[in-house]
Structure 1
Amino acid sequence: MTLSLHEISVGMFVPFLRNLSGLLDKAAAHAEARKIDPAILLGMRLYPNMYDLAQQVGEAVRHAVVGSALLAGREPITFAAAKPDLAEQQRRIAAAVDFVESLPRAEIDAAGDKDVAFRLKSGTELPFTGRSLLLTFTVPQFFFHVTTAYDILRHAGVDLVKKDFLGRR
């Protein structure tokens, strides 16, 4: 059985972005029930030198959007630099899902040997082929940030289980 690049990218990003949205729904309910400012949850981190929850969500979205856009040869959507609240995080996830789903499957599938460069926030460009971008960088980065967001919320006491991370299959 052969997996296409579209299945490995869009096919994985979309359900896990939706799961991430579900995690944020549970975070909002947790904050409301305990009368906690949701901004406190968004500012939480697992360790002082790690990104906070807001940045973890932002990086998951960024890797899904930029990685998919690079494969499809399209410009990625961008978001305002302002620090988003929970509602804005949800809008950004929804926009990311809409964007990656709109990209042409054939162009993504044909990008395996295509030369692409992922630009880090520092401006440094990392060269890849489409296939190596997905398998060695974008997908691992995406899952790192989604997992860390889940872990931050669990650490904060949000009632989550593995099924919330994996989604209902």
Structure 2
Amino acid sequence: MNPPQLYTASVPVFQRYLRQLSLMLDAAQAEVTKGRVNEAQLLEARLAPDMLPLHLQVQIAAGFVLRACAPLQGLPVPPLGSPAPGLDGLQALLRERQSYLDTLPAEAFRGAEARVIGSDAGRAQLQLPATEFLQHFALPNFFFHISCAYALLRQSGVPLGKQDFDGLHRYR
């Protein structure tokens, strides 16, 4: 029997791009270790004054794993928690989310398409059919925050390219 559609549309995608985000943070750590990038400044870097800093972009991306997968299984969203400070703390958070994803049984997503999922979107309250929730809200927001993290890392001098974002392209 094939795994449920919303499992295959979510869990493997989250797994892949959390790995890519972790690799991007590895590259940032390498630049910090070489003395080319200041870790404290990097973590607080913003694309614009009214945008969130890097550390929160990573935390929010990781939070969307729980915010999407728990309700798709018909479960409440567990507490998101706060990571330990620094790049090491963000890496620990990403490992924690990967472990969560690794334990999810595909069968727990069976029947998810019939669910209506409620979520906060800023100050808006959403009630969306599960497929729409995943495709129009959870995944786009996950990718938005990863894209912001990527842009902040690039802006801060971390040598990244498109291949680091998706793991598919090759330019080097």
> How far apart are 1:105 and its partner, in Å?
1.1
Taking the aligned partners of 2:96 and 2:73, their CA distance within structure 1 comes to: 17
What is the TM-score normalised by the length of structure 1? 0.88
Correspondence for 1:133: 133
Deviation, 1:126, is 1.5
Q: Answer yes or no: is the 8 Å Cα contact 1:72–1:104 preserved in 2.
A: no
Alignment match, 1:50 = 51
TM-score when scaled to structure 2?
0.87
**What does 1:18-167 correspond to in 2, within 5 Å?**
18-34=19-35, 36-81=37-82, 84-120=85-121, 125-167=125-167
> In structure 2, what is the Cα distance between the partners aligned to 1:143 and 1:134?
12
Q: Is 1:6–1:108's contact at 8 Å kept on the other side of the alignment?
A: yes
Q: CA deviation at 1:118?
A: 1.4
Q: What do the CA deviations read for 1:54-89 (whole angstroms, capped 9, x no partner)?
A: 111011011122101110123444343467311110
* Aligned amino acid, residue 126 of structure 1: L
Please give the alpha-carbon distance, in whole angstroms, between the structure 2 residues aligned to 1:79 and 1:85: 17
Relative to structure 1, the CA distance from residue 18 to residue 125 in structure 2 (aligned partners, 3 Å threshold; closer, same or farther) is same
Aligned pair in 2 of structure 1 residues 11, 82: CA closer, same or farther (>3 Å)? closer
Task: Answer yes or no: is the 8 Å Cα contact 1:154–1:160 preserved in 2.
Answer: yes
Q: Secondary structure at the match of 1:6?
A: helix
Q: Decide whether the 8 Å contact of 2:58 with 2:145 is kept in 1.
A: yes
Query: Identical aligned pairs, as a percentage?
Result: 31
Paired residue secondary structure (2:113):
coil
Q: Partner letter of residue 89 of structure 2? A: E
Q: Which runs of 4+ in 1 moved over 6 A?
A: none
Note the residue ranges of structure 1 that are not aligned, 5 or more in a row: none
Gaps of 5+ in 2: none
**What's the C-alpha RMSD, in Å, of the aligned pairs?**
2.2
How many residue pairs get aligned? The number is 167
Q: Distance in 2 between matches of 1:84 and 1:24?
A: 14
Distance in 2, matches of 1:81 and 1:101, equals: 21
